[in-house]
Structure 1
């Protein structure tokens, strides 16, 4: 009876250790597979944030002859399109990082709308561009910069 109990204990310990080893092996394989995907997601999110930063967005979207209203509409449409194009990346980044990305998007849209409220809608797009850039320069830190800084810190944790 004692021999049976000892044998059973040894067998149970063996199976537990074997299960732990298999879990560790699967975890390592998942890590090797997921890490490149996560890095790619972080890269795409940083690219999204750079593309929707006011300076970049205005330079890319503003065309000669546009009115302030047209520019406002184009800027917001571009922000939404960039964001929607990268929605799937939220799977690979932390909920906190994704919230900062959403916050950056919302704050930029509010900034654009707020700047547009203070100028003539049918005036030249230059007036809106100037108002947006002045609002950005008065900020301590841009919403996109806050999100990018957080993502950089989060990415460092992967290594």
Structure 2
């Protein structure tokens, strides 16, 4: 290369340098603006979703607490009458009632934390287990009223309500949301 050619190349590079710097700065500013705009839109979408989801979540917690109250043994025994039933028939009816309530509220787990749903499942299983254990301690051909009496005695003697812990957990979780 000759001296003229190299000075022309140098001159072109030096004159292009401000344009490259301005172009790079514009690119960075545009990227930052687009990124900020994107974050703003995501925040707006989340806010709008929370306005929609929050009432649904609250309703889910209400329904699950109602479910737990309905399957609490003392409430369940009042609602499902043992009169005229054998202990075996009464046990089957109680378990069917629990399954029906649980199945009816199964979709509520979508709006709850995993820990909360595990508490609900455990409470349901504890109630079923309590009914089954008390049934197994009865003699054959016992009446449904005897099973109801055994379950209530078990609750009073052990001072354990199998759903109380889950209800308290759900209430604490709700207080964290609000």
Cα deviations across residues 50-71 of structure 1 (Å, max 9, x unaligned)?
A: 0000011001111421221111
Is the contact between residue 35 and residue 158 of structure 1 (CA under 8 Å) also seen in structure 2? no
Distance 2:140 2:88 in 1: 5
Distance 2:112 2:168 in 1: 14
User: Following superposition of structure 1 onto structure 2, how do residues 33-52 of structure 1 map, counting pairs within 5 Å?
Assistant: 33-52=52-71
Calculate the TM-score normalised by the size of structure 2: 0.85
Paired residues in the alignment total 159
Give the structure 2 partner of residue 158 of structure 1. 177
Give the structure 1 partner of residue 79 of structure 2. 60
Give the structure 1 partner of residue 156 of structure 2. 137
Paired residue for 1:28, among 32, 37, 47? Answer: 47
Distance 2:96 2:140 in 1: 17
Choose 52-61 or 140-149, whichever is displaced more.
140-149
Distance 2:49 2:158 in 1: 41
Is the contact between residue 67 and residue 121 of structure 1 (CA under 8 Å) also seen in structure 2? no
Q: Using the TM superposition, give the Cα deviation of residue 123 of structure 1 relative to its aligned residue in structure 2, in angstroms.
A: 2.0
Unaligned runs of 5+ in 1: none
Cα deviations across residues 114-143 of structure 1 (Å, max 9, x unaligned)?
A: 001111242222211111011122335422
Larger Rg: 2
CA-atom RMSD, angstroms? 1.2
Distance 2:159 2:22 in 1: 73
User: Following superposition of structure 1 onto structure 2, how do residues 81-92 of structure 1 map, counting pairs within 5 Å?
Assistant: 81-92=100-111
